């Protein structure tokens, strides 16, 4: 079942723990924010997606956008993943699924013939005023970061 679109809606302010300084959405008002939700650190698709954001990071910053990865992994796991991959952006730890539920990215998925509850790979572009400018759900990694960067440049 596809969740309802949140396009154009304001994003409530929130705090979150990251691999660096604590995250507070309202502190980024005036900048575009890219939140990309991914299932798990150190897995093939999630690694490739993070590397793609890493490789285009300077272009996101030149477009006045900050990138943050979000998963349910611990800060310790995030710190190792970030260091290993050389990510120049912070990873947000969401073990209680507060953000995953806010953005409605928790889904039942089939894994080896069993249904498991997990994060559906999704990305959200929040504009400088704090509204959802774009949303991508059920993301396929190939070409995704290019599409997000194009939207950031147009926002």
**Does the pLDDT value for residue 4 go beyond 80?**
no
Spatial separation of the C-alpha atoms in residues 93 and 68, rounded to whole Å? 10
Calculate mean pLDDT across residues 82-103.
Answer: 97
Q: What is the pLDDT of residue 5?
A: 81
Name, in order, each residue with C-beta under 8 angstroms of 125's C-beta and a sequence gap of 6 or more: 32, 33, 34, 65, 132, 133, 134, 135, 148, 151, 152, 155
Calculate mean pLDDT across residues 84-113.
Answer: 94
Q: What is the pLDDT of residue 109?
A: 84
pLDDT averaged over every residue in the chain: 95
**Does the pLDDT value for residue 2 go beyond 80?**
no
Spatial separation of the C-alpha atoms in residues 87 and 82, rounded to whole Å? 5
CATH of domain 15-154: 3.40.30.10
Nearest residue to 153 via CA among 20, 22, 24, 32: 32
- Of the listed 35, 46, 126, 152, which one is catalytic? 46
**Does the pLDDT value for residue 129 go beyond 70?**
yes
Domain boundaries, the chain: 15-154
Whether 46 sits among the annotated catalytic residues: the reply is yes
Q: What is the pLDDT of residue 143?
A: 97
């Amino acid at each position: 079942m596809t969740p309802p679109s949140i396009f154009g809606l304001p994003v409530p302010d929130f705090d979150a723990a990251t691999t660096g300084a604590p995250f507070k959405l309202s502190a980024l008002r005036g900048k575009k924010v890219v939140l990309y939700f991914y299932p798990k650190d150190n897995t093939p698709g999630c690694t490739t997606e993070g590397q793609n954001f890493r490789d285009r990071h300077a272009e996101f910053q030149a477009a006045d956008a900050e990138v943050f990865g979000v998963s349910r992994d611990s800060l310790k796991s995030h710190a190792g993943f970030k260091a290993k991959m050389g990510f120049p952006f912070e990873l947000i730890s969401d073990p209680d699924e507060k953000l995953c539920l806010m953005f409605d990215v928790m889904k039942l998925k089939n894994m080896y013939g069993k249904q498991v509850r997990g994060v559906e790979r999704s990305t959200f572009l929040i504009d400088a005023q704090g509204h959802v400018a774009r949303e991508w759900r059920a993301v396929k990694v190939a070409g995704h970061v290019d599409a997000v960067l194009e939207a950031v440049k147009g926002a």
